[in-house]
Structure 1
């Protein structure tokens, strides 16, 4: 659309395609023209004024559409207008603002406020460009399907990554030293991805329970989409459980290694403790040390220490301590 960077308006043709509209054409749109989809990025300057002056959205729509949410929020206005707010979990905790998908939908119009590069926005827009997009009121289904498709691809990638970590753990490869760090990063990503799939499922299920007239034609699709989301959530639960088991195995191996090192240090200390006591006792700076005047006293002392160390080692071996 003219004058709005990264914003666009599409007029759906009812056959899976759409054509772009200019700002003036979007202003002159009428319900008889067909389904209109307007997308605005959240960084548009003075977004509330744009929604009011350009697209003529009343305050009861602008308020919920621009509000924040911590999970999923769905408001029904005038029994025919739907406001959907969905938080997109960010795996980058340093992000300044959390990403959200906000949408206002009616039987003939849809306004979305979200980053233009969000997967659902990009996917639905690409489908419309190739004539395989939604035909009208099924835009909400298209957004959910695009989100779940992206989640499915991401799940496959995470599954491959987790399988690689499991292989490294089982094969005890040399590059497995950084395995705990890689596993910690993967578990954090899995938790974020599972939360996203859970949010999509909750949003679809809540929409399917609404009594909005123009959504009744989508009941079957919404029910199927909810089942698909539930299946995706189960797959994510399985990945999270596998990562937890691998984490416990890695931790057990590291603990066992630490225990072996501490055990060997304890054995070595036990062997050298009597030897250190004898040498320390004979090393005091006092007169009258036995053998002081005899030249062979040092060799005799070394021999006694060697024999004592051998006896200690044999005693430990007999008790199967080493």
Structure 2
């Protein structure tokens, strides 16, 4: 689109392809021309004015498109218009400068999306249209949902491989497994975020499938299939989260056992040296009458007595299987 960096407009041809339009051409667009998809980045200068003046969107449409929320939101404006707010996992947590949402206003013949142009859903659907394998019209939402679920499936496979590697390193008891707890903490955070994303995608599909909008109702079968795929992906994520939890418990149990062994050995050592320390402390007082102070062999005799006492204590502990 002229003058708008990272923004674009595509006119779908109804056969899986699309051709780009300029800003002037979008102003003269008519519903009979075909499905129009206009994409605007959220950092576009004066975006509210653009939505109002250029695309003539009413306030009830502009406000949701400019809103920021941490959940899925679907508003039915009338029997033909939807406003969708979906979360995507390929950016940082939402804030004023870095939104992670895909916001869309959709009708039977027009769609306006507000999201980072580099967002995977936008890039993937745009590439599909460029190769003639994209949506044909009102199934644009299905294309976004399919891309999101496919991305989640690939990400789930990557996380599964990462978790399997951590499990293998832990079970192998190698010396270089000291970084496993840190890697597992990062992986568990990623799993929680990914599971939330899959859950939100599934909720969005289910909510859209329950709408009575006519052009949405025509896609009920595809929406049900997508919801089932999302449900399956959610179960896989739950399984990964459970495996990560079990691995965390195993690591914690091993760390606790190691700490207990160390404390036990320190207790044994303290027990062995306690009588020896008592004797040497008693003989080290600065008072007269210490036995053997005038005999030159008294020190060696004391050392021998301490060694024998330590050996006897150690043998007694061994007989009781304490060490």
TM-score norm. by structure 1 comes to 0.98
Distance in 1 of aligned mates of 2:155 and 2:56: 38
TM-score by length of 2: 0.97
**Which runs of no fewer than 5 residues in structure 2 stay unpaired?**
none
Relative to structure 1, the CA distance from residue 317 to residue 91 in structure 2 (aligned partners, 3 Å threshold; closer, same or farther) is: farther
What does the per-residue CA deviation read over 1:277-311, in whole Å, with 9 as the maximum and x for residues that have no partner? 10111111112111000001001100110111011
SS, match of residue 82 in structure 2: strand
Distance 1:18 1:151, change over 3 A: same
- The answer for the alignment partner of 2:81 in structure 1 is 81
Does structure 2 retain, via aligned residues, the 8 Å contact 1:73–1:86? yes
Contact 1:90 1:99 in 2 (8 A): yes
Secondary structure, in 3 states, of the residue corresponding to 2:166? helix
Inter-partner Cα distance in structure 2 for 1:237 and 1:192: 12
Relative distance call for 1:36 and 1:215 in structure 2 (3 A) is: same
Tell me how far 1:93 sits from its aligned partner.
5.3
User: Paired residues, what number?
Assistant: 322
Partner of 2:281: 280
State the 4+ residue runs in structure 1 displaced beyond 4 angstroms. Answer: 89-96
d(CA) in 1 for partners of 2:135, 2:256: 55
Task: Tell me, yes or no, if the aligned pair for 2:68 and 2:99 is still in contact at 8 Å.
Answer: no
Paired with 2:125 and 2:243, the residues of 1 have a C-alpha distance of: 33
Deviations 1:8-63 (A, max 9, x none): 00000000000111111111111111000000010001111000111111112112
SS in structure 1 at match of 2:70: coil
How far does residue 97 in structure 1 lie from its aligned partner after superposition? 3.5
- In structure 2, what is the equivalent of residue 118 of structure 1? 119
Aligned to 2:171: 170
User: Where do 1:213-228 residues align within 5 Å?
Assistant: 213-228=214-229
Aligned-partner Cα distance in 1 for 2:70–2:31: 33
Gaps spanning 5+ residues in structure 1: where? Answer: none
Query: What displacement does 1:174 show?
Result: 2.2
- SS of the counterpart of 1:174? coil
Contact 1:101 1:112 in 2 (8 A): yes
Q: Displacement, 1:88?
A: 2.9
Shift of 1:276: 0.6
Deviation of the 1:175 alpha carbon: 1.7
Question: Distance between the aligned counterparts of 1:253 and 1:269, measured in 2?
Answer: 24
CA RMSD in angstroms comes to 1.3
Does residue 238 of structure 1 match 2:239? yes
1:208 is matched with: 209
Indicate how the Cα distance of structure 1 residues 94 and 20 shifts in structure 2: closer, same or farther if over 3 A, else same: closer
Change (3 A) 1:70 1:36: same
